[in-house]
Amino acid sequence: MFGPVAESAGLGHIGWQTFRHSLSAWGKEAFNLEETKNLLRHSNIQITSDIYGGLSLEAKRKAQANLVDLVSEIAKK
């Protein structure tokens, strides 16, 4: 289908799973887990969480910064 076109354009192998992973990666920034579950048409949220539920790098950095701020505030007391 679009695989040969992608390969001839130098993009390598692209299949439906590529689109699903792209949706989940971008969705971490734009959607909550329930919305991602619905868009990927999973039967339950556990599947979505197990496969795609990890935090994005930016979300991990933000969480770590929040933790550093909290510890710094506690240390000042």
CA distance 61 to 13: 31
Give the pLDDT mean for 35-62: 80
Question: Domain residues for 17?
Answer: 3-76
Identify the residue with better confidence: 32 or 66. 66
pLDDT, averaged across the chain: 82
pLDDT of residue 47: 81
Total domain count, the chain: 1
- C-alpha atoms less than 13 angstroms from C-alpha of 7 in its C-beta half-sphere: 6
Tens-place pLDDT, residues 12-47? 888 888 888 787 777 777 888 788 888 888 898 888
Burial of 51 (0-12, 13-18, 19+ CB in 10 A): middle
